[in-house]
């Protein structure tokens, strides 16, 4: 019979929120492997938000490394997606120009 209650955010003033580093890392990895910007953008936004909370002392700092890794994966994915779309559009424009010149 243990009557000790564990502190929660509501019961302990000044308690920190739990980090979401693992979730953000999973989103970042999924963005690189499978889902592109559909999970890359949330990883980037959530990572930036959580890092701000960690720096402000509102969130548990244990997940800082995981959060940064997930956010960086999300950023890399978003940049790669934009570059890929840019190259595809460029090839479409150049391909149409070459086809018009050859006729």
Which tens digits make up the pLDDT trace of 47-93? 999 999 999 999 999 999 999 999 999 999 999 999 999 999 998 88
Instruction: Report CA 97 to chain centroid distance, whole Å.
Output: 38
Whether 18 contacts 66, CB under 8 Å:
no
Query: Is residue 2 a part of any domain in this protein?
Result: no
What is the number of structural domains in the chain? Answer: 1
Q: What is the pTM of this model?
A: 0.78
Query: Is residue 100 a part of any domain in this protein?
Result: no
Query: Is residue 92 a part of any domain in this protein?
Result: no
| Domain span at 43 | 21-78
Query: Is residue 87 a part of any domain in this protein?
Result: no
**Residue 58 in tokens:** 């509102």
Which among 30, 31, 52, 43 is positioned nearest to 71, based on CA atoms?
Answer: 43
Query: Is residue 68 a part of any domain in this protein?
Result: yes
- At residue 20, the 3 state secondary structure works out as coil
Q: Which residue has the tokens 């492997």?
A: 33
* Residue 9 in this model has a pLDDT that exceeds 60: no
């Amino acid at each position: 019979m243990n009557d000790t209650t564990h502190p929660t955010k509501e019961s302990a003033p000044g308690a920190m929120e739990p980090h979401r580093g693992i979730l953000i890392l999973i989103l970042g990895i999924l963005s690189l492997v499978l889902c592109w910007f559909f999970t890359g953008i949330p990883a980037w936004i959530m990572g930036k938000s959580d890092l701000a909370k960690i720096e402000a002392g509102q969130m548990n700092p244990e997940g800082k490394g995981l959060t940064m890794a997930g956010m960086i994966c999300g950023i890399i994915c978003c940049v790669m997606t934009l570059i890929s779309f840019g190259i595809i559009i460029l090839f479409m424009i150049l391909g149409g120009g070459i086809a018009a010149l050859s006729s």
